[in-house]
Chains A and B, each alone.
Chain A
Amino acid sequence: MSQRIVVDPVTRIEGHLRIDCEVDGGRVKKAWSSGQMWRGIEVILQGRDPREAWLFTQRFCGVCTTVHAIASVRAVENAVGIQVPLNAQYIRNIILAAHAMHDHIVHFYHLSALDWVDVVSALQADPAKTANLAQSLSDWPMNSVKEMTAVKARLAGFVEAGQLGPFANGYWGHPAMKLPPEVNLLAVSHYLQALDYQRKANQVVTILGSKTPNIQNLAVGGVANAINLDNESTLNMTKLYTIKSLLDEMVAFIQQVYLPDVCAIGALYADWLGYGSGVTNYLAVPDLPLDSAGTKFDLPGGTIMNGDLATAKPITSFTDPYFSENVTESIAHAWYDGDWTRHPYEEETVPKYTGFEDEGAYSWIKAPRFGDTPMQVGPLAQVLVGAATGHEPTQRWLNFALDTAGAVAKTKLNPSMLHSTLGRHLARAVRTAVICEAAQKHWQLLVENIASGDTAIFEPPVFKGEQVGFGFHEAPRGTLSHFVVIRDGKIANYQAVVPSTWNAGPRDEKNRPGPYEASLVGNPIADPERPLEVLRTIHSFDPCIACAVHTLDVEGNEIARVKAL
């Protein structure tokens, strides 16, 4: 008999991501992904000055602040046709790279590792064997027996005190948990270390952005970081070298801890290379521009259709019509008035709520399509596009990851196995390794450019009549794009098509499911009461249904976030 699982962990408050699965014979047969709260924040932007749109867009979502700020300034710059100075590109790039490193480390250690790591089991681990295993994976200095012994003692103290602390909500002892105790202890130890590296990445963003979350240094046309190497209050050599040393520390952690951990844990769950593929059309946009015009990039963009790398077609510039002309959104199964599929410039946002209808409307999220096709976005798309277009750093780190994981799993892994739940985790770690190297490179480019005597940071925008533009950013969760229509210097229309919309969107007018929905079909479910496997697949996308409201609920046994798209 089939059952229906509803994963809706904050049903006591309105608005969230809700996942419904029909389960039969221990497998997911059908799935629905539903955004439970109306967004419409774009409406707030109408009539405002386009130069300050980014201040508002970075408040869409409390976690994705920086990415909405950058997409917004790029959209307005595209609309008015200005190019930003090289220093501004490099400074923005370093911020974006640091943000991405931070985001991916937090996602793995703090959000999704608990889907795979049984913390309680770590109490059974032998610290010496754990250290031995860790040292076989990398030369990280904090993999000593002493370190592992201390972490185990700390964990034991917590459990004896009757609390599991931050791990209290895990599915401990679930039949799908399969790591040996030593790997679990290794993960707990690196979880603790990751807390410090989260802070380091944050410091880079704070030095350049003045503040995080919600950076303050952007402007349409450039950045506000005055450059004077001899002035204490501007961007100077002291600050630049502080950034460099923080980036170097991040790189070491990513290369020696995060990536090897994902490979080792992934190898021990190799069966998850067989689940969760779903939509295998991929979209990534290029990022980390190397010139003012946005025609050369350090990270490649493009599309791949039907999982076939030979179909790769590049997206080559900030003005490439292959991207801008192919994006549409369908509201056929969303709670809006009408059933149109339109380009973002032409969209309107008129809510029409009907309740959850399996065959009708069931989500506030629209269904984005690229040239009429559902697309998966995110690190897997980024890595596959890189691999397909001959991007050397992506290919090098992908090979490293497949070799490392293959050695632990004692099998040969190849890129075709990446279309999966586990593949998304591996790809995210590979992408982080690529980005951390790029961050160091862009630091070098910035310093060299300043040394050459260029201190330009800003090019003023000019508004006149109707100006229409788009800006994109390949954010940690995937392709983010903002579309703006400006009339006489005021915003007339504004739409954001965000990564979690591409992935979490509902069925479209042809009833084709979105990536979350498609990826769940076929997943095993060992215990419908504790649908760990559903969380594994959904978490592998790093869902972020743009956060809208923050309300602390101390008395009601939860600290809740309401989100909207």
Chain B
Amino acid sequence: MNPRDNGSVGNRDERQNASQSGGPTDGHDVPSVGGLGEEARVAILGLGNVLMGDDAAGPYALEYLGSQFELPSTVAVEDLGTPGLDILPHIAGRERIILVDTVRSDGPAGEIRLYRKDQILAHAPTARIGPHDPGVKETLLSLEFAGKGPADVLLVGVIPERTDSTIGLSGPVRASIPTMIQHVVDELSALGYTVVRKPDAREPRPWWEREPSDTGGSQPGATQP
């Protein structure tokens, strides 16, 4: 028996993406990457913890991107959570990386900051205690040292209002998501990719924002893709 045959796993994009092939599924442009087949030259990587308020901005922005735009299959879109050094396999060997994340910077919540690779690498990394401490900067430095780093990186960052144990974005950060994604789309266009708006664009519906009561588990069969 397949767990997807009885609706037990709910109506969540994470679940829908978990098609047995790992390939793209309906209404959500998340290509299979990092495993089989050819690697995408360009990757859009969303970073942040979806359970910690505005830290979800990166993953949320990717959900918004998938709900609004049609992307070429040669562009990878990956929600990576908070991977620390485990981000490395998702950057290694790729020509261009677009990161979407919250950033610490002076300014009001919701303001967007853009950085390039040389700006990210401008300062030395700090001491490390755990596996999370070395992150994007150390990974880029390691890959530069190994000769496997991307030619350039664009970081599209947003200043968070709150990053505590809550689910859901603050008003200012949520309002900035379309502009953040416009920066991503502009970067892809500048790199020569054709990005078009979906004729059937929908509201973003990230799985983690659904209320416990609408997760669909109690309605067998109601959530078939």
Residues of A that sit less than 8 Å from B by CB: 7, 9-10, 13, 16-17, 38-41, 43-44, 47-49, 51-52, 55-56, 59-63, 65, 102-103, 106-107, 110-111, 154, 158, 165-166, 168-169, 192, 195, 198-199, 202-203, 206-207, 210-214, 216-217, 219-226, 232-235, 239, 242, 456-461, 489-490, 535, 538-539, 542-545, 547-564
Contact = CB atoms under 8 A, between A and B. Distances in A.
A169 B125 contact: yes
A472 B38 CA distance: 37
Contacts of B36: 203, 207, 239, 242
B34 A203 contact: yes
B194 to A, nearest CB: 26
A545 B128 CA distance: 13
A552 B207 contact: no
A216 B49 CA distance: 17
16 contacts: A51-B9, A52-B217, A63-B132, A65-B81, A203-B35, A206-B33, A206-B35, A221-B3, A223-B3, A543-B130, A545-B130, A548-B52, A549-B55, A551-B101, A552-B155, A555-B106
Nearest to A201: B89
B133 A60 contact: no
B66 interface: no
Nearest to B4: A224
B67 to A, nearest CB: 18
B83 A551 contact: no
Interface in B97-115: 99, 101-106, 113, 115
B123 A558 contact: yes
Nearest to A234: B20
Contacts of B165: 38-41, 43-44, 548, 564
A564 B91 CA distance: 26
B88 to A, nearest CB: 6
Interface residues of B, number: 93
Interface of B: 1-4, 6, 8-10, 12, 14-15, 17-23, 30, 32-36, 47-52, 55, 58, 78-86, 88-89, 92, 99, 101-106, 113, 115, 119-120, 122-138, 141-148, 155, 157, 160, 163, 165, 167, 207-208, 212-213, 215, 217-218
A195 B48 CA distance: 23
B189 to A, nearest CB: 24
Contacts of B55: 548-551
Contacts of A51: 8-10, 217
B49 A62 contact: yes
A111 B8 contact: no
A43 B212 CA distance: 12
Contact of B49 (A103, A225, A550): A550
A62 B82 contact: yes
A195 B142 contact: yes
**Cβ-closest 3 pairs across A and B:** A62-B82, A216-B18, A561-B132
